[in-house]
Structure 1
């Protein structure tokens, strides 16, 4: 699943998405002012992008609190690839 995640992250980055957040297992683009741009709906019950905190899991949280840089996610995944 990490390969699919990496491909999606690279595709989003190539199309100008810099930060994302997760809300109810949906991965959304983070932009100010906040626009509801859904990138993917994770139908695997949260298995995809498990390293991103879901905003809906935290009371009184907002996307600003749990947004993640795509470049950081890509770097993390590159470090986890076994050669």
Structure 2
């Protein structure tokens, strides 16, 4: 199952700094998917997903997946 469409970057300028792949990963994280599942669905390693998550959290200025989900939901 594919995640919902990307949030509108005009709603939150932090989305604009994410790469397309980071946006993909962000959607899965916001849906509560574990790294192992995200990695399998995107065809990459878990370490790659962990790296993407770390960059997403830093760029979005959040500390965890719950805060990230709040940002995504508020922009949708």
Query: For this structure pair, what is the TM-score category when the shorter chain's length is used for normalisation?
Result: 0.3 to 0.5
Q: Which is strand-richer, 1 or 2?
A: 1
Q: Which has the higher contact order (CA 8 A, sep 6+)?
A: 2
TM-score by length of 1: 0.31
TM-score by length of 2: 0.33
